[in-house]
């Protein structure tokens, strides 16, 4: 009878997120977005002061995504520098729940929870370990989405 009680106490579905290793995709997907610009500055170059910033690092896939807003003047500088390397390409970015409220609202108005923008190479933002990536300016805003990879 005591074995039945023991097995009953151990039964039930395991909590996958609680039992997953810290760097597993399950915990990466549930990781909270960060807002510390100085910490982000240790991973990628941020050449201008940001007015709003949120970012997530995915160690398992060696990627980092940052969303930030610049002043209109600094936004123009980022675009001008990037256009020297390669002309912009139209891009459609899926909105994430951790993006700034303004971008979430804009994506909701699109009807498909996405954001339209112009994508550029992110050369001026790259530093080890992140060696490739893009920076996209969201249409009609001074928000940028930086996506970099160490692969």
Residue ranges of alpha helices (H) inside the chain are 2-10, 16-19, 25-30, 37-41, 72-85, 101-110
Supply the pLDDT for residue 35.
Answer: 93
Domain limits, the chain:
33-149
Nearest CA among 139, 145, 66, 83 for reference residue 109: 139
Supply the pLDDT for residue 135.
Answer: 95
Supply the pLDDT for residue 126.
Answer: 92
Supply the pLDDT for residue 47.
Answer: 87
The strand pair at 114-121 and 52-58 is best described as unpaired
User: How far apart are the C-alpha atoms of 145 and 69, rounded to whole Å?
Assistant: 9
Check residue 2 and report its DSSP letter.
H
> Over the stretch 104-137, which tens digit does the pLDDT of each residue have?
999 988 788 899 999 999 998 999 889 999 999 9
What's this model's pTM, rounded to 2 decimal places? Answer: 0.78
CA 137 to the chain's CA centroid: 14
Tell me: pLDDT of 73 over 60.
yes
């Amino acid at each position: 009878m005591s074995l039945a009680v023991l097995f009953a106490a151990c039964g039930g579905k395991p909590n996958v997120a609680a039992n997953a290793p810290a760097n597993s995709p399950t915990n990466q997907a549930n990781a909270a977005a960060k807002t510390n610009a100085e910490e982000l500055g240790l991973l990628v170059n941020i050449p201008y002061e940001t007015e709003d910033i949120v970012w997530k690092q995915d160690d398992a896939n060696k990627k980092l995504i940052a969303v930030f807003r610049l002043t209109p003047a600094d936004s123009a500088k980022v675009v001008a520098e990037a256009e020297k390397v390669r002309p912009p390409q139209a891009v459609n970015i899926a909105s994430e729940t951790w993006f700034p409220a303004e971008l979430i609202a804009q994506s909701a108005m699109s009807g498909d929870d996405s954001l339209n923008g112009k994508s550029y190479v992110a050369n001026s933002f790259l530093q080890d370990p992140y060696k490739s990536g893009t920076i996209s300016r969201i249409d009609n805003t001074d928000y940028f989405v930086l996506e970099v990879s160490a692969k």
